[in-house]
Structure 1
Amino acid sequence: MVEVKASLKEQYNHLFAAVPPAAIREIDVKLSSVPDIIKLTIGEPDLPAPTAVKEAVKAAIDHDDSHYAPSQGTLALRQAVAKYLQERYDAPAYDPESEISITVGASEAIHDAFSSLFNQGETILIPTPAFSLYQAEALRLGLKVVEVNTAPTYKFTAAMFKQALQDHPEIKGMILNFPGNPTGVTYEPAELEKLAAAIGESDVLVLSDEIYAELSYENKHRSLTSYLPAQTILITGLSKSHALTGYRLGFVAGPAALMKQIGLAHSGVVTTAPSPMMAGALAAVTTAKDAPFAMRDIYQKRRDLVMDGLKKAGFTAPTPNGAFYVFAKIPDFFTADDHAFVYELGEKAHVGTIPGSVFGAGGEGHIRISYAASTEDLTEAMSRIQAYSQRAQDLKQKNLA
């Protein structure tokens, strides 16, 4: 082990001291040590990548596609993405030359947008519960964060936006995620229209993370960009829709003037996305563009399985209309806080989940369950949770007797 020179121990970006640890990964690693555990912790699809995507990547490698691509991505892919976003998201007709970039996953796109469009000390609004990366990334860049608790509906409304802006007129930007992680909640067109109208009366710039767009169950997804194109940056990708988390392909689109800045951040961080992976992405949004439909049907059946199993165990949760998470309230007959409950559930029932409080205000007393696991694992996990819940209820009744 190499010890750093004592005088260099404080040689780091002190903004990072304000960033909470990556709780989801940390919890997942700790629970991994439990024997026979079924982990419903990470949003990691268990489904295979579409065959057309794999074949396209193999062909690119076989044809020695091993060189630098244009920084913003191959033009053929950007043209296909522009068409794909119009067709599947009802997004505007983005110019592939100047309004679309291909990134190394949606996470890089979030970093690029935060770092290039906002200045240190400026304020970002984050509706919560929300994916913990948003706050962490903002704090790493020296931005200030205002949280708005959206519980119990988990929908960020026009009224909430107006109140937040009244309370914090210094807000420069916000991030909106739908279908949402951790709740699976999404918006009706009328709700989006009202929210967009309220935001449009301000100069607040919106980063709209729509990575779960293709996993919308009841209704076709419609992007915020279809209502508010002039002040929205659309962030999405293929990780969830096509089960390509390891391929690391993201898309970011928006007005050319803003995308120029995002492009500068992107080229400085990664130069370009990997060429073989972009060949696979091109196949994903063309040949395999309908692959998400079959995956969505599988997830919807798994959602129903989990919702039914949790109900039998005494948990309550809003029915997710998208993504692949259930955000469930821990029953009152459990007295531990959500962190303690998650570790107890892991150790005693051998089921891994994520405590709701890691997702910010409104998450306390909840757990997030990812149903991107196999049907067999989900069935067994629900059986274990029900048995554990029954033991807890029996013990409480015994103590009251």
Structure 2
Amino acid sequence: MFRKVEESQTLLINTQAKALEAQNKEIIKFGFGQSPFLPPPKVIRALKESAHRKEYSSVQGDLDLRKLMSAFHLAHNGLKVDPDNILVAPGSKILLYTIMLAFEKADVLIPLPSWVSYAPQAILAGHHLIKVNTYFEERWRINPKAIEEAIKNKKYQATILILNYPGNPDGLTYSPSELQEIAVIARAHNILVISDEIYGLLTFDKSHTSFSNYYPERTITTTGLSKWCGAGGWRLGAAFLYDGIEIEFKQALIGIGSETYSCAPTPVQIAAKEAYTSYYGIQDYLNEQTGILQKIGLYCAEKLNAVHIGVHPPQGGFYIFLDFSKHRAALSRKGITSSNDLCEGLLKETGVMILPSSAFGFSKDFLGARLAFVDFDEPDNKEEFMLTKDCPRIIKGINLIVNWIGTLNILS
């Protein structure tokens, strides 16, 4: 009678952590990915000062904000988009769903591992979900061969590919040559690409380039304030449409928006104008974040790799994707044969919370998990950041995982 829709795993894990904390249990929260950094002071001030602005904006979003976003992303990564082809909404999550809803039927290609909401959204929209397999040895990156293999299972004329880089849950990005190769096959098969670049501004080496630069004719880029500006709960996202977008497609997107979310919150849009005033004006703010996140991410990857938990050093954002496959025998002797078992066992015995790989599209027997390395408070003095001083929970949590795996192997 009713649709079967499970709660988003990332939101569920946060609820579980709070419940355990209410029982006075110490939990290392590596499960929920939320930036510990506050938005810039001027952005917070703008939100406070606009609290009285209660009127609706247009469905598409404030025009001045869209103009600022256009200039901001052109400076950031060469993304060229007319302000009239930008949609602003209460979060990029609803925009991803809106894009999928605009199609009556489509095949949706989702590379694994993938963010937890892509697949449920595709299913809710009534589409045919096709998982694109990737492998640890290939850095969890898709390539033309994997795409060609996936589209053998197509059912419909329309095809949507969702890219996400730097990625959630892996923290990895694509090189220009890899993006070019994907663009070639996307063009050959007339694939609509949704390029989720919500973590683009948190690329550690500042090398992020929009996929739209390689495939401008059919790429929609999604982004927003939640990650780089530390404002996830404010709910402000944007979709950058391609030039020459079909009139019917654009009208469908705006129409769906008008019948669902109506508009992004007006006070938040006003604050966003401050955030997007100048890309060059927020360089220090971004550099402080990426410098800290890179140090933490590399520390975690190094420590875990040392005990043969497979991890690729992150290139952006605040996630790493763990592969426990080399410990399968020891874990199996403890009755752990799935990623859910793995995460439940780790939580019960150590208090460390990570998210099972089954939430990211893998079969339950794959022994993987996502770790979000953001269980720390924003440092007061970012220029003198030290892991031991500013991130004691990160260090404790990683050591608990390392010791737990070590104990398992000794006992076995």
Indicate the residue corresponding to 2:346 in structure 1.
Answer: 345
- What displacement does 1:293 show? 2.3
The answer to whether 1:323 aligns with 2:317 is yes
Can you list the C-alpha shifts for 1:95-153, whole angstroms capped at 9, x where unaligned?
11x2001111111111111111x11x432111111012011011111111011111222
CA gap of 1:89–1:266, structure 2 versus 1, over 3 A, is farther
Indicate the residue corresponding to 1:371 in structure 2.
Answer: 373
Measure, in 2, the Cα distance between the counterparts of 1:384 and 1:361.
Answer: 25
Measure, in 2, the Cα distance between the counterparts of 1:325 and 1:349.
Answer: 20
- What displacement does 1:273 show? 0.7
Amino acid at match of 1:388: W
Measure, in 1, the Cα distance between the counterparts of 2:74 and 2:68.
Answer: 10
The answer to whether 1:65 aligns with 2:60 is no
Aligned ranges 1:2-401 → 2 under 5 Å:
10=1, 12=2, 16-17=3-4, 19-34=5-20, 35-61=25-51, 64-92=52-80, 94-96=81-83, 98-116=84-102, 118-119=103-104, 121-152=105-136, 153=138, 154-168=140-154, 170=156, 172-255=159-242, 256-257=245-246, 258-286=249-277, 289-290=282-283, 291-330=285-324, 331-332=326-327, 333-335=330-332, 336=336, 337-361=338-362, 364-374=366-376, 375-396=391-412
**What secondary structure sits across from 1:76 in the alignment?**
helix
**What secondary structure sits across from 1:187 in the alignment?**
coil
| TM-score, reference length from structure 2 | 0.87
Q: Structure 1, unaligned stretches of length 5 or more?
A: 1-9, 397-401
**What secondary structure sits across from 2:98 in the alignment?**
helix
| TM-score, reference length from structure 1 | 0.89
The answer to whether the Cα contact below 8 Å between 2:197 and 2:223 also exists between their aligned partners in 1 is yes
**What secondary structure sits across from 2:260 in the alignment?**
helix
The answer to whether the Cα contact below 8 Å between 1:208 and 1:232 also exists between their aligned partners in 2 is yes
Measure, in 1, the Cα distance between the counterparts of 2:222 and 2:296.
Answer: 26
Q: Structure 2, unaligned stretches of length 5 or more?
A: 377-390
Range with greater deviation from structure 2 (179-188 or 290-299): 290-299
The answer to whether the Cα contact below 8 Å between 2:87 and 2:240 also exists between their aligned partners in 1 is yes
The answer to whether the Cα contact below 8 Å between 1:151 and 1:362 also exists between their aligned partners in 2 is no
- What displacement does 1:169 show? 6.5
Alignment RMSD: 1.9
Can you list the C-alpha shifts for 1:282-323, whole angstroms capped at 9, x where unaligned?
111125633222211111011022112323443121122122
CA gap of 1:206–1:32, structure 2 versus 1, over 3 A, is same
- What displacement does 1:219 show? 4.6
The answer to whether the Cα contact below 8 Å between 1:45 and 1:373 also exists between their aligned partners in 2 is no
- What displacement does 1:202 show? 1.8
Amino acid at match of 2:45: E
- What displacement does 1:274 show? 0.8
Matched residue count: 376
The answer to whether the Cα contact below 8 Å between 1:80 and 1:286 also exists between their aligned partners in 2 is yes
Indicate the residue corresponding to 2:383 in structure 1.
Answer: none
Measure, in 2, the Cα distance between the counterparts of 1:33 and 1:74.
Answer: 39
Range with greater deviation from structure 2 (380-389 or 48-57): 380-389
Amino acid at match of 2:395: T
Calculate percent identity across the aligned residue pairs.
25
**What secondary structure sits across from 2:345 in the alignment?**
helix
Measure, in 1, the Cα distance between the counterparts of 2:18 and 2:411.
Answer: 28
The answer to whether the Cα contact below 8 Å between 2:107 and 2:155 also exists between their aligned partners in 1 is no
